[in-house]
Structures are given as structure tokens and as C-alpha cells.
Amino acid sequence: MTPSLNNLLKLQSDIRETTLAACGWERSVFLRYIKEAYTQAGECIGNAQYEGAGGYELCEAHANFMDAYIAQVYVYALEGEKRKSGNINQSFPCALVAIGGYGRGELSPSSDIDLLFLFSGHEGQISELIRSVLYLMWDAGLTIGHSARTISNCLKIAKEDYQSETAMLENRLLAGSEEVFLDFNKKFDGYIQRVAKSSHLRNRLEERMRRYRSWDPSVYVLEPNVKESAGGLRDFHAVCWLAKTFGMKEMDEMWCKGWVPQAEFEKAMKAYDFLLRIRAQLHIRAKAKNDMLNFSAQAEIAPELGYEDEESALASECLMRDYFLHARNLHIFCRDFFETLEDHLKSRRWVNRKPKLQPLEDGLALQDYHTLVLDESNPRAILENPTGLMKIFECQYRFGCRLSPNVRNFVRAHLDTVDDNFRASPDARDSFLRILSGKAGVTSTMHEMHGLGLLGCYIPEFEPLTCFVQYDHYHRYTADEHTLLTLAALDELTYTKDLSLQQVAHIHREMERTNILRLALLFHDIGKARGPRHVHKSSSALPDIIMRMGLPADQGSIIEFLVACHMEMSITAERRDIDDPVLISNFADKMETVERLQMLYLLTYADISAVAPGIWNEWRSALIYELYKRVLRVMETGEDLYRRKRTEDIVEQVSLEARAGGSRIGREEIAGHMESMPDRYRTGTPPQDILRHIELGVRLSDEAICEIDITHRRRRGNTLLTLLCKDQLGLFALIAGAFAVYELNILDAKVYTREDGLVIDTFEVVDSEGKAVVDEGLWNKFRKSLERLLSSELELLEFLGRSKKYLRLKKRMSFDLPVLVEFDQSASEDATVLEVVAPDRHGLLAQIAQFFAHEGISISRAKITTEGQCAVDAFYITDDNGEKIKDQSRLKELCVNLSEILEEGRPIGAIV
């Protein structure tokens, strides 16, 4: 105990022992006396804080002093009333009760002092007494909150007002009639057990939600409120209230009776003590009730609490790091307690119901479909798998369930199994990557993984970011929380209905390798804790991580690229002249592939969104989108400026891919292929696809008419068909016709012709129900038909005629939809874009393709979508010289003719 706390204790006993008679019952003398004692107490508290008194110790001492003080005021007033009435033995059925935080026996220096006057009967005299007590306190300069109620009144108010009920839950008799107090206690307790208990947990959870909403659901805000923020004092109070409701008289019972592990309880108590200490300092500094730990307060109180500037961090940064570590412990403790209680209540509600256990692999089980538990018969089974801890999280992600408190404790207790072997294990890596490749819900798993310490153990480079404070008046969260929030921003894209996010969301939906993007997001700020120039420092840490995890070279190089460039896009969009074509060209050159550009765009969005709410706004989003679009256009049209260099890079990547896959395709072959492909192929095709095309080209022998490769893409829910064959007029119409007969829908088509006349087409197709086409038999038939069509054994018209559905409407029209055919010369540099909106028919695409073939027009690219009953297609068309169709009258004529055909649903053969 510090000397000043001793002084306070002495003041307290002085007050208790001073006979009031010593004041001669003179009101002014008494007032002067207690005023002086109060001032002295204030000084003691201030000094005790500087002497380093514990937070809880200080608050308790303060409360004890106030107890003595208030009791004495009450006794003085009571004596006065008795004298006035002339009956020294008169009894006053009134009790003075401390409630709220004061009732709990904790008072921060400027906290509210909440008093309840409990009374029964004799209202007249009692109100005189109450008035007299209050006047004394007011005259002594004390600010208090008070209420005066009968017991039945208390119960009535408790029923109506949840906050008052909570305040009265913590009560202590300060002075007055013990009888009244005990009566109240009995009745109130009965009320809590009978009425309130069932709804209490729900109410507490709702209250917590409300509080988090109005502050921030994250513990790691850089300017927290030590009382109300997540992980603040209030969280712990809620636990105390619940513990009381459920009959725990002492806090120690929590772990004694097995509600929580002792270690976690002790951590939470330490955290609580730390927060109280900060709060006391905030109160003393502001000389008022102030719980906001903002930047200026942090800078001022850090030295006062004994923090000093260190080489790599300011005193206030050290303070905040401690704050976050403690707040995190408190937050986790409270969440676990809530969940344990929830489970307990559920098991009691259905007395005879056994939880449903669904065993999973590795000694894990799913309980009641929503909680991951350990197999009770052998709780250590999971450790037989050396990377079992990672498995726990993969299961959690896969089933979207929560971890039981038991599992959490298990993970915490076995973090030492994460050794070098674990970190280098392909099993652990694959589990980790499977989690990261999800479209949504990844963040909650990563949050859990980080909260339990596994993320920092698995990727040690990430650990220094934990609770790392970034003082830049820009970031709102600590570095680790910021990083996890970038993942959340990505998750949000999957379901967002926000119009301002539609462009990013669109790209995210089409993104294949989201796990690489997520890895880059996880690593993008790891240099932050190593001092200034964090981009460079993040990058330099990467090769070790990539090597350790054993990531393939191509993925590693994308991650390195994304981390090194993670600021480029926002800086360029906001601070460079994007009207400058050289700038755009250089940017495109840096990106190398469209996939990289798109990943960087998503990463930029996620990074900015996670800085603080409102930073990714429409304004910034428009700026960055403009840059993205311009760069994309340069890449897709393949402007000549850097063509050669870019081709070399792509050849390099493809040969890397070839070596990784053990393919025999050599560098020269790849270079030859790339040279003879059109520009837009070079920029718009991922290396692994290029490799596959070359391999298929080799396989396509002289006798074979075509080579078909089919892959099912489960994530996108479609099938990718790659077709290689010799070019011929109307080829696209033949293919589209075959799709029509087999009732396959084309979502996207890319059509390329190599200089030697080899056609490389890719189609994204789905069946009539919009799912991937996995029926092998159907594909065999399709292959045969297509071969016959290509070799002219089979006439397209005759073939189409076999399909009864050909050109029938897919859905009955409820009203007439107009056909719309329009062209746009500005959308693409090297092709005219023809947009077609028409009622969706079976084989519509075949019909349009036939029309183009008939007119001698080539299709270089097609984007096919269906909106309701309408097909909305865009065709990138060129004339027989491969150029834009510049003749306006020809274009108009094309539009008119096509509209007519589409409107009548007429087979093309009829006009030939």
C-alpha cells in the first residue's frame, strides 16, 4: 500500500471515530470539518496514483473513504431530526444504500456516487431526514445521484427499467436501518431469481451489441473509451452482473466452480485493474469524469503512469500497446464467459436433451451443428496430427461454426506444438490456403486464429503487429486489426448490395485465386513494426515466408508484387495526372497481367476501407476506378509501346509454370506461340492457361479435327471449355449451334486465332439450370457432333432442326420485350462493340453467330449475360481485315437486319 493510501485510510478512520459531539452539533463547524476531510482525501487519491497504486486498490480505498464520509453525514442528519422531534428514541425506517459502481465498492476519482434512500411508512418525517442529508452533502460540495423509494417502488421500477434494475443489483448498506435493507435485499433477490434471471443474459447480450454499435465493435480502435469500448470496463461489469444473477457471491467462485479457467480469470482481473488505473488517471487529469483515451490524453498520461520513450516507440505507444493487450484479454474473457453461460442455459432448458454430436475427422466433433468441440473420449486425439491446431480452424471455417470455450483453451494451451516443422508443413499450409480461398466468412476464422495466438505462431512475422499502434491521425485501428479488417472488406464484397461497390464486387466475384490476394493482404503491413518505410520492410520479409510455406514460385512472385506495390494505385490515382498516357502505359507495364491489376485494385480497396469507416468513399472510389479502367484498356488492347518487354515477361512466367508442372514445353516454343498470337491474348490470358493452350496445340495432330479440354470450376460454378481447331468461316456459329442443341448456355467467350490459322477459343458454359456441366456422357456426344459439324459431315441447319426447342423462347413472355441492337465505337480500341438486347431464345447465340458469318464479320470477343427474360450480349466485331467497321451506313444496315431477324425469331437459313 502506498503512503498516500495509508493517509487516506487514516482520514477514513478519523471520520469514523470523530464523535459528532466534538463539533458541538454546530452545522457550520461540521460542514467545515467534512469539507476539509474531503479535500484532503482528494489529494491523497491524486498522490496515491502517482505513487503507483493499483487501479482496483485505489478505487476500493476511495469507495471506503466515501462510505465513512456518507455514513457520518447520515448520522449527523439523523441526530438532528431526532432532536427536532424531541424524541431521542424515535426510529426512522430508512436505509441509505449505495448502488451502481459505488454499490460494487469501486469509485474512480470522478465517478458518479449513486445513492438510494430506502424507506417504509412515515413519509413526512422521512422526507425531512432525506432532505437534511442531501442538503448537507450539497453544501459540502459533493455531487451525487440519488433516488428515494419504498421497496415495492424499487421492484416496480426494476421491472420497467432495465438500467435501474442493473444499478440496484449491486447494493451496499451505508447507514440507517438494517432491517429495511435486509427486507429489500430478500425481496429484490427473490425478484431477480424469479423474474429477471431468464431474460438477463439476453438483455446483457443486447446491451453489449448496442454499446458496440455506438462505439465500435473492435477492441483495437486507436482512441478508445476505457469504459464503453469493446474490451472496456463495461464488458467486465456485465460479467459481474451476470455472475451475481446466477448466484455467485464472490468473483473467485467463477473459476472455483469451473465457469472459467483460473489462468484466464487472473488475466482478466489484471486487465481490469490496468483499465481502472488508466481511468483514474484520466479522471485526475481532467478533474472530471472523462473516459475517452484520445491521442492527447495518451500523450499526457503515459509519462504520468511511468512510461518512457523508447528507441523504437514513444511512451504513449508503449502505453497503448499495453492497453490493447489487456483490453483484448478482457474482451476474450467476457466473450467466453457469455458463451459458457449460454451453453449452460441451453442444457438446462432441455433437461433430457443430449447435445447432438456429429463426429468429424481428427478427434473433432460438431455439436448441435453450431459449435466445434473436442471428442470427449479422447480429447488429445487432435494432437496425433502434428498440424492438428490448423485443422481445428479449417473445420471451423468449413462448417461456419464457433469454437467451444474448451477448444479455445485447448488451442491456447498447445500453441507450443507450432514449431518449425509445423510452419513448414505442406498440410498446415494447404489447410491455411483453403481457409483463405473462401469467398466470404474468412475473417471470423482469421480473427479467432489471431485472438488465440495461432496466427502469430504460424507466421511469426505477423506477431509484432499485435496491438501495434500507428500514430498517423489516419488509421483508426491497430496494425493487426487493420490487417484483419482488410480481409473483412473483401468478405463484404460477396454479399454487398452497395451500389458504390459494384465495380469492385464484380471483379471480386470473377477472381479465381483469392487466396493469393488474401495472403498478400495478410503480409502487406508486416514491416510496420520495424520502423519507417514499411513497404520496403514488408517486402524484404516476404522471401523467408514464401520459402518456409513452400509456395509455388508464380504465386510467390504475385504476393511479392502486390506487397511491394500496395500503395501505388492509390498514390497514382490521387496524386498523379492520370490523363497522361505515358503514366498509364507505365502503370500497365508494371502490372504485367490483368490478374495482377485486378488483384491490386481489390487490395487497394480493402486496404483503404480498413483504415477507418468512411475513408473508402464514392469520391476516392471514383478516382481509383478511373485509373483501373484506363490501365485495363491499355492492357486489353495491348498498346504497342512496351509489347516486346511484356512478351518476354510472360514467356518467363509461362516457362516457370511449365517447369513447376513438369511439362516438356520449352521456352522457344512458348515464345513462338506468344509471337503469333494477337496482342489482347498476351495481356488477357493467365500463364497457366497459355501453357495449357500450347500443350493442347501440340496434341492436335493432323488427323484430329479438333482438340477439346474441359475443366469444371467449382468456385465459379461453371465449366470451362477450351477448343483448338483449324480456322474456317462461320466457325463460331458452328460451335454456338452445338451448344444450342445440347442446351448449354454460354456465359463468356474468348476467341483467338493464331497466325498459323489455329483457333484457340474458350467458353464458360453452364447447363440449363445454371450449374457446371459435369455429365461426361454429354460431353462425349458433344465432341462427336462438333467433329462432324467441323468436317462438314453434318449440316448446321439440319442439325439445329433436330432440336425441337431451337429458337423457342426460354420463358413465356408476360409482355413484349423490344429487341435492341446498338453499336459503340468508343468502348474498344480495335473492335466495334455491338450490343444486343433480345428476348432469350434457345440457340439465340447460334442464330446471331450465323448472321455474322453470313455477313462476313468476325467476332473477337463476346460477353453474354441474361437479365430476367432478356439476353444482354455484347460482341466485339471486326471486318474481314480484322479492323473496326468504320462504314456508318454498313453498321446501320447490320443493326436493322439483325433486329429484324431477332424480332421474328427466324432461322438464318431462311434468308440465305
Partner 1 sequence: MRLVVAIIKPFKMDEVKEALGAIGVAGMTVTEVKGFGRQKGHTELYRGSEYVVDFLPKIKLEIICEDSSVETIIDAIMGSARTEKIGDGKIYVQPVEETVRIRTGERGMEAI
Which residues of the shown chain bind partner 1 in the complex (CB under 8 A)? Answer: 502-503, 506, 574-579, 617-620, 622-623, 625-626, 629, 824, 826-827, 833, 835, 863-865, 872-874
Name the minimum Å distance from CB 835 to partner 1: 8
Residue 114, C-alpha cell as written in the block: 449513486
CB of 579 to partner 1, least distance (A): 5
- Cβ closest to partner 1, residue 215 vs residue 625: 625
State the pairing for strand pair 745-753/758-766.
antiparallel
Pairing relationship of beta strands 402-403 and 371-374 according to DSSP bridges: parallel
Least separation, in Å, of the C-beta of 203 and partner 1? Answer: 42
Task: Find, among 580, 584, 578, 611, the residue nearest to 597 by Cα.
Answer: 584
**Cβ 577 to partner 1, closest distance in Å?**
6
- Give the count of beta carbons closer than 10 Å to the beta carbon of residue 578: 19
In the bound state with partner 1, the residue whose beta carbon lies nearer, of 5 and 849, is 849
* Closer to partner 1 by Cβ: residue 382 or 597: 597
Least Å distance, CB 823 to partner 1, is 11
Cβ at position 500, least distance to partner 1 in Å = 11
Smallest gap from Cβ 510 to partner 1, in A, equals 9
Which one, 579 or 798, has the nearer CB to partner 1?
579
CB 111 within 8 A of CB 175: no
Q: How far is the CB of 624 from partner 1 (least distance, A)?
A: 9
Whole-number minimum distance, CB 732 to partner 1, in Å? 17
Closest contact distance (angstroms) between CB of 594 and partner 1 is 11
Q: Please state the closest distance from residue 608 (CB atom) to partner 1, in A.
A: 13
**Backbone Cα Rg of the chain:** 37
Using the 8-state DSSP alphabet, how is residue 809 labeled? B
Which is nearer to partner 1, 701 or 826 (by Cβ)?
A: 826
Q: Which CB atom, from 618 or from 883, has the smaller least distance to partner 1?
A: 618
Among all chains, which residue has been given the C-alpha cell 476464422? 445
| The residue to which cell 503515459 is assigned | 302
- Please say which residue, 262 or 617, places its beta carbon nearer to partner 1: 617
Q: What is d(CA 478, CA 224) in angstroms, rounded to the nearest whole number?
A: 11
126 or 627, CB closer to partner 1?
627
How many Å apart are CA 866 and CA 848, to the nearest integer? 15
Which of residues 312 and 502 has its CB atom nearest to partner 1 in the complex? 502
Phi/psi-derived region of residue 730, left when phi > 0, alpha when psi is between -120 and 50, beta in every other case: left
Q: How many CB atoms sit inside 10 A of residue 36's CB?
A: 12
Residue ranges of the alpha helices (H) in 496-580? 502-510, 514-523, 534-549, 553-564, 568-575
Q: How far is the CB of 283 from partner 1 (least distance, A)?
A: 26
Strand order in the sheet with 357-359: 357-359, 364-367, 371-374, 402-403
**CB nearer to partner 1: pick between 311 and 472:** 472
Residue 47: count other Cβ atoms within 10 Å of its Cβ: 16
Nearer to partner 1, 161 or 574 (CB): 574
Q: How many CB atoms lie within 10 A of CB 643?
A: 14
The alpha carbon torsion through 837, 842, 846, 849 (nearest 10 deg) reads -10
Helical ranges in 638-704 per DSSP H: 643-660, 667-675, 679-684, 687-699
Question: Measuring CA to CA, which residue among 344, 301, 291, 346 is closest to residue 322?
Answer: 301
CB of 578 to partner 1, least distance (A): 8
How many other CB atoms are found less than 10 A from the CB of residue 238? 21
Return d(Cα 620, Cα 495) in angstroms, integer.
21
Per the document, the length of the chain is 912
Q: Which CB atom, from 292 or from 615, has the smaller least distance to partner 1?
A: 615
Could you tell me how far CA 384 lies from the centroid of its own chain? Answer: 32
At residue 750, φ and ψ (nearest 5 deg) are -125, 130
Nearest of 199, 268, 200, 202 to residue 233 by alpha carbon: 268
Give least dist CB 862 to partner 1, A.
Answer: 9
Across 71-89, b (16+ Cβ under 10 Å) vs e yields: bbbbebbbebbbeeeeeee
Geometric angle at alpha carbon 146, from 140 and 150, rounded to 5°: 135
Minimal distance, residue 586 CB to partner 1, in Å: 15
- Using the minimum distance from each CB to partner 1, give the nearer residue, 428 or 874: 874
Nearest to 208 by CA among 173, 174, 166, 269: 166
Q: How far is the CB of 575 from partner 1 (least distance, A)?
A: 5
Residue 435 grid cell:
481457409
| Nearer of residues 629 and 781 to partner 1, judged by Cβ | 629
Of 416 and 579, the one with the shorter C-beta distance to partner 1 is 579
Are the C-beta atoms of 385 and 416 separated by less than 8 Å? Answer: no
Closer CB to partner 1, residue 579 or residue 880? Answer: 579
Q: Decide whether 618 or 795 has the Cβ nearer to partner 1.
A: 618
Residue where the block lists cell 480497396: 605
Matching residue, cell 467497321: 885
User: Cβ neighbours of residue 722 under 8 Å, at least 6 residues apart?
Assistant: 689, 692, 693, 696, 708, 709, 710, 711, 760, 761, 762
Question: How far is CA 365 from its chain centroid?
Answer: 26
- Output the smallest distance, CB 626 to partner 1, in A: 7
